[in-house]
Amino acid sequence: MNYKTIFVVSMLFLTGFFLFYSNQDVNCVEKTEEKIVIGESLAGLIESGSTVRILYGYYDCHEIEREDIIIHNHPGNPNPIIKIAKGLPGDTIHLGKSNNASGWNILINNEIIKNSYGQPYVLDETRHKMISLYEKDYKGIIPENAYLILGNVAGGSLDSSRFGLVDRRDVLGKAELLREVLS
């Protein structure tokens, strides 16, 4: 075979490969839906009244990445909740006394995690107890298929600081900001 034939065959193979796998990404999104965000837990990132597109099933084909905005099926809530993935499987998780001594910081991989304003999350005693159970039970390592999800409020919201780590099966999809609320 000459080099031109090898080149053409290689290009055809690569084109087919990319077309196949790009279609796989499209197929993993079961449906998309536009929703208006209600609540202030992501203030600073996504304001109450903003419109997001939810990509249901997105994580059937993709890994959840740190800082992804996810939709979580929280038991007892009629509507899914929107949060930020802050801790991933295999990450170390520890709690350390806050510098202001009024609470506890969450450390992921030995770094104090912060919200989009650069403020460290500070847990009160009740929220500290919830996360410390996971720290103790899992020896400081977030287990496979478990995630730490938080709002953007440094003091906590309805998030992992109240209900603990979440299972991947309860992550319904990824959220993308479409339209911000106009002031």
Could you tell me if 176 and 56 are in contact, meaning their C-beta atoms sit under 8 angstroms apart? no
Q: Give dist(CA 41, CA 54) in Å, integer.
A: 17
Domains of the chain, CATH where assigned: 32-179 (2.10.109.10)
Whole-model pTM? Answer: 0.82
User: Position of tokens 């905005």?
Assistant: 69
Q: How many residues comprise the chain?
A: 183
Report the pLDDT value the prediction gives residue 78, as an integer from 0 to 100.
86
Tens digits of residue pLDDT in 63-105: 999 999 999 998 888 889 999 999 999 999 999 998 876 899 9
Q: In the structure, how many helices (H) and strands (E) does the chain have?
A: 3, 11
Residues 123, 177: Cα–Cα separation, whole Å: 28
Where do we find the tokens 């906590």? 156
